[in-house]
Amino acid sequence: MTAGSSDSAERRRANEIRRRLYAKEAPRYDREVDLVERWLFGTEHRGWACSQGTGATLEVAIGTGLNLPHYPADVRLVGIDLSPDMLALARKRADELGRSIRLMEGDAQDLPFADRSFDTVVCTYALCGVPDDARAVSEMSRVLRPGGRLILVDHIRSSVAPIFWLQRVYDFIRRRTKGEYQTRRPSAHVMAGEFRIQARDRLRAGIVERLVAVKTS
């Protein structure tokens, strides 16, 4: 078995574990996220991210569709997620909102779209749970057109030392039970790629990072 096929097989195994976890989480996901955002991350970031979408827009890891109310009406929206259970809830939300959207099951690490397909790619609070976040950022770059924008909101390692060490302890538990990380910094992968940073903020004791990057080529 080659290194590439070995990596692919490992991704498939990791993804199947996540699908099973997300199937259990889907019915309570919205309530849990609402609590965390109200008390920890802040509730304004989804609107900040999605309101900047233009043209053909892809949301990676759309989950239950919590971002759907925040997109401009003229955006041509595609949402992709690993979990069919999450996507079923996203479809229900889209129907309730009267929102036209194409929803697909797929992997952020291997996006099923041609190169340069989208004007905007949005991803919120999701790269913590992707096994290879650098690969996911690379895939987002691949499907963006030159001049297109990547918009990210993530919870990241805090700039406050005591909080950072608490996150490290939390990481030790969560990466083994759910494959999630609290101390990643996806912006490092963006800055290493074919992007020009247009805006970047760290908020809430440095645990939330918002980023807009323009693809340069």
Structural domain for 55, as ranges: 3-215
Q: What is the pLDDT of residue 1?
A: 44
SS3 label, residue 78: strand
pLDDT tens profile 186-207: 999 999 999 999 999 998 877 8
pLDDT tens profile 64-103: 999 999 999 999 999 999 999 999 999 999 999 999 999 9
Closest CA to 157 of 143, 146, 167, 148: 167
Domain of residue 20, CATH code: 3.40.50.150
Q: What is the pLDDT of residue 71?
A: 98
pLDDT tens profile 123-165: 999 998 898 999 999 999 999 999 999 999 998 877 777 667 7
Q: pTM, whole model, 2 decimals?
A: 0.91
Q: Is residue 57 scored above 80 in pLDDT?
A: yes
List the strands of the sheet with 118-124, edge to edge: 101-105, 76-81, 56-60, 118-124, 144-155, 208-215, 195-203
Q: How many domains does the chain have?
A: 1
> In the structure encoding, which two tokens stand for residue 149, read together?
């924008």
